[in-house]
Amino acid sequence: MDNAGKEFFHKRYSGLGWKITDKKPLHSLRVNTLKITAKELITRLEKLGVKLERIPFTKNGYYYESKFSLGAITEHLLGYYYIQEAGAQLPVEVLDPKTTDTVLDCCAAPGGKTTQLAQQMKNQGTIVSFELKPHRIPSILMNLERCGVTNTTVFQNNFAAAKGQYDKILLDAPCSGNYQLEEGWFEKRTIEDIQKSSEIQKRLLQDAVRLLKTGGTMVYSTCSLEPEENELNIQWAIENLPVRLEKVNLSIGEDGLTSVFGKKLHPDVALCKRLWPPEAFFIAKMVKL
């Protein structure tokens, strides 16, 4: 097959100025400040022999090393932290919801970013959380309960059915993923899969912008490395939706690509952030006109 496999994607990423690395992301967690301070949690975990190191580009993130699963101890059950990759902590930080905001979380399962939204909002304001797949609802509800979230309503439905308009929207879009998240990814994924994801994401972008207040802010993010799901979708949004991009202010990552396989994109696409592995994330921030 000439549109899949490690060699195909290696050439593809090389054409974007990056080489595949086998470096794995470090284990990481986010301190849940709704329930505990970072200092208190560090003290508790270090007594158990867990090694912690502050993640310099997140507000509440720590890399950890542990000889046992941190998902099976009292501190986790009490909701003192959420096990979450470093890159996955960034979209909510970029959205920066305030305590007075009404926020829409479009594709919420398993609830990590929903709990982070509530944490950043200090359990104030309102979060409306949507998840389309029924079997994923229990994980959201469990995580909200565990983390002490009280400002969130969860709906099992397509978020396009949401009523009203929102100050802030998080669209952490379903995507084709990346090779670090799924064993055998190179053999399973084809360009056709990626293009199919891209078309779905465009519809999600269109629905999300419709629900955003004029002057409101939306963050679009994926864990995909593919331009079709990232920069090319943002190019499409600039051309077809009433939005303007804002700079994603992060101390990590590269500017969004403005030239993709010979195609020149709008210069504002550079305001996005592309994080290659091991973090592996794409983040765009936009305001509705």
In the chain, domain spans: 6-15+87-288, 26-84
- Token pair in block for residue 108: 């919420």
Quote the percentage of the chain above a pLDDT of 70: 99
Going by pLDDT thresholds of 50, 70 and 90, the confidence category of residue 235 is very high
pLDDT for residue 210: 98
Question: Which residue would you say has higher pLDDT here, 211 or 15?
Answer: 211
- Using DSSP, state whether 255 is helix, strand or coil: strand
* Residues 217, 95 contacting (CB under 8 angstroms): yes
What is the arithmetic mean of pLDDT over 99-113?
Answer: 98
Residue 257 pLDDT greater than 50, yes or no: yes
* Residues 198, 209 contacting (CB under 8 angstroms): no
pLDDT for residue 38: 98
d(CA 216, CA 273): 20
* Topology classification of domain 6-15+87-288: Rossmann fold (3.40.50)
Catalytic residue among 106, 107, 147, 223: 223
For residue 272, what is the DSSP state?
A: S
Report the run of H or E that residue 171 belongs to, with start and end.
strand 166-172
Going by pLDDT thresholds of 50, 70 and 90, the confidence category of residue 187 is confident
Q: How many CB atoms lie within 10 A of CB 52?
A: 18
Residue 21 pLDDT greater than 90, yes or no: no
What is the arithmetic mean of pLDDT over 95-116?
Answer: 98
pLDDT for residue 120: 98
pLDDT for residue 3: 65
* Topology classification of domain 26-84: Alpha-Beta Plaits (3.30.70)
Report the run of H or E that residue 207 belongs to, with start and end.
helix 191-211
- Token pair in block for residue 58: 């997140």
pLDDT for residue 1: 47
- pLDDT tens sequence across 45-93: 999 999 999 999 999 999 999 999 999 999 999 999 999 999 999 999 9
pLDDT for residue 24: 83
* Residues 166, 216 contacting (CB under 8 angstroms): yes
β-strands 152-156, 263-264: how paired? unpaired
Q: How many CB atoms lie within 10 A of CB 232?
A: 21
Let me know if 223 is a catalytic residue. yes
pTM summary value: 0.96
Residue 158 pLDDT greater than 90, yes or no: yes
Cα 36 to Cα 4, 31, 82, 138: the distances in Å are 46, 8, 12, 24
Strands of the sheet with 51-54, listed across from one edge = 51-54, 61-65, 28-31, 81-83
The residue assigned the tokens 């195909």 is: 8
β-strands 152-156, 126-131: how paired? parallel
